[in-house]
């Protein structure tokens, strides 16, 4: 017996960690800073760390009650029913649950190009097909995260993925564009708005579309204000909450989807420690605020001081035009700053730099300007 033929599947390649890079170059890990995976520059919330340590002696328990507590806390925070919160092993796990719940064999999904690779991978795991819509820069020079680009490419796919803020560009869809996309797709299509970087933007969450909405300025017909049943939102604790290593994320789904969760999730969607730490991290509002503020400062500082064109970002990273991305990323790595070569996104001229602390950001700018001047 052999595994099914997966030869046409994309292999997920996680960014390399400091230890791995240092070992390969025969250098001291202390010399490096990693600004390649959009992780939290301050690390996890100290409250989460304390909870993790305190919970260690209880890991023989299954996470049942803790999972319910976290689900209830998230439901309260978002003002939705508990059934609408689908906890998972990272945002990636939540994408798998949505694929399982939505896709019949042969169904297609529509994903952004360039974009996050796991949308397509998850679809394929679930016997789906992958089609792309192009978001590469339009006439105004910015990435085209517009209803027009999505709907022009749309051909009845079962899931349409919108990333907002978008990885790797940092751009975003407006709520009006998301609504226009949901309106412009058939009833059987689910629009998944991936807000993995949602904390870093001031724009409202697409969750608004799952609620009864007041007609604030009277400009919309009343009918468009019923909670939508064709939009889901993806969120994660990996970025602003600094818990990437714990693997904790969730989808917020329409009311009518609530009872599908029990039929698609793994028996324990995430770990006991992740549930406990997630609750502590949710409570540590100051840590998230400091992270978000520092990210805003960092991306503005980089955009202002880098001697290279950058794209407007609403996330905790900045996309920079550098010419030969592979060569520049390698030169940066030599200098101890690990950035993301975006060739794998189909952007061989760009690197993506994660927002770091003040010292890390200044170092990244200094080194990149020197590399570009060489
Ligand atoms: N969506 C996007 C756009 C991402 O960049 C990532 C992480 N790189 C994820 C989802 C998933 O993150 P996680 O599984 O760590 O929650």
> Any idea what the CATH number is for the domain that residue 350 is in?
3.90.1150.10
**Same domain, yes or no: 220 and 265:** yes
Domain hosting 79: range is 46-283
**Same domain, yes or no: 273 and 298:** no
Q: Please check whether residue 9 lies inside any domain of the structure.
A: no
Stretch 47-60: mean pLDDT: 95
Look at residue 218 in the predicted model and tell me its pLDDT.
55
**Same domain, yes or no: 26 and 172:** no
Q: Do 161 and 175 contact (CB within 8 A), yes or no?
A: no
Residue 236 beta carbon below 6 angstroms from any ligand 1 atom:
yes
- Going by pLDDT thresholds of 50, 70 and 90, the confidence category of residue 211 is confident
Look at residue 219 in the predicted model and tell me its pLDDT.
56
Residue 215 has pLDDT above 90, yes or no: no
- Protein residue whose Cα sits closest to atom 4 of ligand 1: 196
Stretch 185-206: mean pLDDT: 97
**Same domain, yes or no: 223 and 130:** yes
Residue 163 beta carbon below 6 angstroms from any ligand 1 atom:
yes
Give the model confidence (pLDDT) of 33-51 as tens digits.
Answer: 999 999 999 999 999 999 9
Q: Please check whether residue 12 lies inside any domain of the structure.
A: no
Q: Do 91 and 194 contact (CB within 8 A), yes or no?
A: yes
- Going by pLDDT thresholds of 50, 70 and 90, the confidence category of residue 187 is very high
Q: Please check whether residue 241 lies inside any domain of the structure.
A: yes
**Same domain, yes or no: 279 and 347:** no
Give the model confidence (pLDDT) of 114-148 as tens digits.
Answer: 999 999 999 999 999 999 999 999 888 889 999 99
The domain spanning residue 209 has which CATH number? 3.40.640.10
Q: Please check whether residue 6 lies inside any domain of the structure.
A: no
Report the range of poorest mean pLDDT among 10-14, 72-76, 120-124, 287-291: 10-14
**Same domain, yes or no: 317 and 262:** no
**Same domain, yes or no: 318 and 364:** yes
The encoded tokens of residue 59 equal: 């890991």
**Same domain, yes or no: 86 and 36:** no
Q: 224 CA distance to ligand 1 centroid (A)?
A: 30
Mean of the per-residue pLDDT values of the chain? 94
Question: Residue 310, Cβ neighbours under 10 Å: how many?
Answer: 17
Q: Please check whether residue 13 lies inside any domain of the structure.
A: no
Q: For the whole model, what pTM was predicted? A: 0.95
Q: Does the interface predicted TM-score (ipTM) exceed 0.90?
A: yes
Q: Please check whether residue 5 lies inside any domain of the structure.
A: no
- Going by pLDDT thresholds of 50, 70 and 90, the confidence category of residue 220 is low
**Same domain, yes or no: 31 and 50:** no
Residue 238 beta carbon below 6 angstroms from any ligand 1 atom:
yes
Among 226, 249, 283, identify where a domain stops: 283
Among 248, 283, 318, identify where a domain stops: 283
Pairing of strands 231-236, 249-252: antiparallel
Residue 316 beta carbon below 6 angstroms from any ligand 1 atom:
no
**Same domain, yes or no: 300 and 168:** no
- Protein residue whose Cα sits closest to atom 1 of ligand 1: 196
**Same domain, yes or no: 38 and 150:** no
Look at residue 334 in the predicted model and tell me its pLDDT.
95
Among 283, 301, 327, identify where a domain stops: 283
Q: Which residues contact 214 (CB under 8 A, 6 or more apart)?
A: 225
- Going by pLDDT thresholds of 50, 70 and 90, the confidence category of residue 156 is very high
Q: Is 258 exposed, middle or buried (0-12, 13-18, 19+ CB in 10 A)?
A: middle
């Amino acid at each position: 017996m052999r595994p099914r033929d997966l030869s046409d599947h994309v292999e997920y390649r996680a960014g390399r960690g400091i230890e791995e890079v240092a070992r390969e170059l025969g250098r001291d890990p202390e010399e490096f800073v990693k600004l390649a995976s959009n992780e939290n520059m301050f690390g996890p919330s100290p409250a989460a760390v304390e909870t993790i340590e305190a919970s260690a002696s209880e890991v023989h328990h299954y996470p049942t009650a803790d999972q319910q507590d976290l689900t209830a806390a998230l439901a309260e925070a978002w003002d939705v029913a508990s059934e609408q919160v689908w906890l998972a092993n990272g945002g990636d796990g939540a994408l798998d649950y949505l694929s399982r719940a939505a896709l019949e064999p042969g169904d297609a999904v529509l994903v952004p190009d360039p974009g996050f690779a796991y949308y397509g991978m998850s679809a394929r795991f679930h016997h789906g097909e992958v089609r792309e819509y192009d978001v590469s820069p339009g006439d105004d020079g910015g990435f085209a995260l517009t209803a027009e680009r999505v709907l022009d490419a749309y051909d009845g796919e079962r899931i349409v993925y919108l990333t907002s803020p978008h990885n790797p560009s940092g751009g975003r869809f407006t709520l009006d564009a998301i609504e226009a996309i949901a309106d412009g797709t058939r009833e059987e299509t689910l629009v998944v708005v991936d807000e993995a970087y949602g904390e870093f933007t001031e724009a409202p969450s697409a969750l608004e579309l799952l609620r009864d909405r007041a007609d604030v300025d009277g400009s919309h017909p009343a009918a468009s204000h019923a909670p939508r049943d064709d939009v889901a939102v993806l969120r994660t604790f990996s970025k602003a909450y600094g818990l990437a290593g714990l693997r904790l994320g969730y989808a917020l789904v329409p009311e009518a989807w609530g009872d599908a969760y029990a039929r698609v999730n793994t028996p324990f969607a995430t770990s006991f420690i992740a549930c406990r730490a997630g609750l502590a991290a949710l409570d540590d509002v100051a840590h998230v605020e400091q992270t978000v503020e520092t990210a805003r400062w960092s991306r503005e500082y980089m955009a202002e001081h880098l001697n290279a064109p950058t794209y407007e970002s609403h996330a905790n990273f900045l996309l920079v035009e550098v010419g030969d991305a592979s060569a520049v990323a390698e030169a940066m790595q030599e200098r101890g700053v690990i950035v993301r070569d975006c060739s794998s996104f189909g952007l061989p001229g760009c690197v993506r730099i994660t927002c770091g602390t003040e010292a890390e950001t200044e170092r990244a700018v200094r080194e990149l300007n020197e590399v570009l001047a060489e």
